[in-house]
């Protein structure tokens, strides 16, 4: 295939024009004009780099200010792989205005793409997309993808892939991206479910503090009743192990200490010679068996009964991870989310993203995917007939043929 003698270098003038002059184009890096990279680019990407970049950034100056000296970087990577399996990268990046101090992002705009040959068409890896517009903060992503989608169709791109993480784990789900396999989805949900599993000891301890406050009078009354026989019980006591579990240890310790406080300082002093705290707690519990039974029945047992319920786990996590407490989520919504997390098929991500369109579910799903999900490999197939993911993608970006 004959290659334009200045396929890459000849695009500089056009790139300078796009971004308002040569002073704004800080860097334009590209392979040699007469190279395998040029042949690959001309064969699969067809148009010159300046025309391709022009189409990518059309209208983006509404959001991004690239009329800054030295603000724009364009980089085209060398082709790698053998013929029929080549891949090349394109980076378009616009720097922040001078003096900007926030750390939200390093750039106003980053569009970093890996084009790889896949049969007769291409695949595109979204290596990095960032639109931190300084002129307008919202809507830049939709404009960018409305520019990209018809371009991808012309280039016969069959799928878009990316690695979703952090905020992107939620955002890309709403753009119709689904994990690349059922196994990838299972990996995501396994980590979410593991992180949702409650620290029962902490939950029991927290509920016990409330329970002790509510039963302060009963505890003091029990201590007052036990005090006359305290000395005899102490001298006649039999050594006994304190039989507790990891879940209720701290809760029962809190109850024993509240009871001991009710007995008074003299009783507390008489126990100072004990060699083990566990021996002290076992003895104190022998003086208040009814209170111990009530604690187990009213605090520990109810928590244990719901600990494996995914909806309860979701509600507990949602209430506990934000201050002030977030809005309540309807029980039916929690059960829907829980059911999706227990599915084994990747399209469950589409259902989760669809459910997030409900304002009552958006907050918990967004936070759950951002904070609990691992990095996951996602994709959208640009196939005919349109996949559900592609339909969601078009709707999200407001694309109309």
Structure tokens at 314: 């979701």
Residue 104's pLDDT is 56
Which residues lie closer than 8 Å to 198 by C-beta, 6 or more apart? 307, 313, 316, 317
pLDDT tens column, 87-105: 999 999 999 877 666 655 5
d(CA 23, CA 133): 21
Residue 1's pLDDT is 45
Alpha helices in 135-181, H assignment, sequence order? 140-154, 167-174
Reading the chain (401 residues) residue by residue, the pLDDT tens digits are 455 678 899 999 999 999 999 999 999 999 999 899 999 999 999 999 999 999 999 999 999 999 989 999 999 999 998 777 899 999 999 998 776 666 555 689 999 999 999 877 799 999 999 998 888 888 999 999 999 999 999 999 999 999 999 999 999 999 999 999 999 999 999 999 999 998 899 889 999 999 999 999 999 999 999 999 999 999 888 777 899 999 999 999 999 999 999 999 999 899 887 778 899 999 999 999 999 999 999 999 999 999 999 999 999 899 887 778 788 999 999 999 999 999 999 999 999 999 999 999 999 999 999 999 999 999 999 987 789 999 999 999 999 87
Residue 137's pLDDT is 81
Q: What separation, in Å, do the N-terminal and C-terminal C-alpha atoms of the chain show? A: 33
Which residues lie closer than 8 Å to 37 by C-beta, 6 or more apart? 8, 31, 76, 77, 78, 79, 88
Residue 275's pLDDT is 72
Structure tokens at 361: 């579910």
Q: Given phi > 0 = left and psi -120 to 50 = alpha, else beta, which region is 254?
A: alpha
């Amino acid at each position: 295939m004959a290659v334009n003698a200045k396929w890459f270098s000849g695009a500089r003038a056009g790139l300078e024009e796009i971004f308002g002059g040569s002073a704004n184009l800080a860097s334009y890096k590209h392979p040699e004009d007469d190279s395998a990279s040029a042949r690959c680019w001309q064969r699969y990407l067809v148009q010159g780099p300046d025309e391709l970049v022009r189409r990518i950034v059309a209208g983006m100056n509404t959001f991004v200010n690239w009329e800054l000296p030295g603000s724009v970087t364009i980089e085209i990577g060398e082709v790698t792989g053998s013929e029929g399996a080549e891949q090349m990268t394109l980076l378009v990046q616009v720097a922040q205005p001078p003096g900007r101090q926030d750390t939200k992002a390093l750039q106003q705009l980053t569009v970093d793409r890996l084009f790889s040959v896949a049969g007769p068409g291409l695949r595109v890896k979204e290596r990095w997309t960032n639109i931190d517009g300084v002129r307008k903060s919202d809507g830049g992503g939709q404009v960018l993808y409305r520019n990209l989608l018809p371009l991808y169709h012309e280039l016969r791109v069959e799928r878009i892939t990316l690695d979703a993480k952090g905020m992107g784990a939620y955002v890309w789900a709403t753009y119709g991206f689904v994990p690349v396999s059922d196994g990838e989805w299972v990996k995501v949900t396994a980590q979410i479910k593991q992180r949702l599993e409650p620290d029962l000891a902490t939950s029991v301890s927290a509920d016990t503090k409330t329970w002790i406050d509510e039963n302060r009078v009963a505890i003091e009354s029990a201590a007052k009743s036990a005090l006359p026989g305290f000395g005899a019980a102490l001298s006649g006591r039999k050594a006994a192990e304190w039989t507790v579990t990891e879940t209720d240890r701290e809760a029962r310790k809190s109850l024993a200490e509240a009871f001991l406080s009710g007995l008074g300082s003299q009783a507390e002093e008489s126990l100072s010679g004990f060699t083990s705290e566990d021996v002290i707690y076992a003895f104190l519990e022998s003086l208040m068996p009814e209170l111990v039974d009530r604690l187990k029945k009213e605090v520990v047992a109810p928590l244990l009964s719901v600990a494996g319920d995914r909806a309860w786990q979701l509600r507990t996590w949602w209430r506990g991870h934000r201050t002030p407490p977030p809005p309540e989520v309807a029980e039916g919504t929690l059960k829907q989310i829980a059911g999706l997390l227990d599915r084994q098929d990747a399209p469950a991500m589409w259902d989760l993203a669809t459910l997030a369109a409900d304002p009552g579910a958006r907050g918990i799903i967004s936070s759950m995917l951002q904070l609990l999900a691992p990095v996951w490999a996602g994709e959208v197939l640009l196939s005919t007939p349109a996949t559900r993911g592609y339909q969601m993608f078009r709707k999200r970006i407001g694309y109309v043929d």
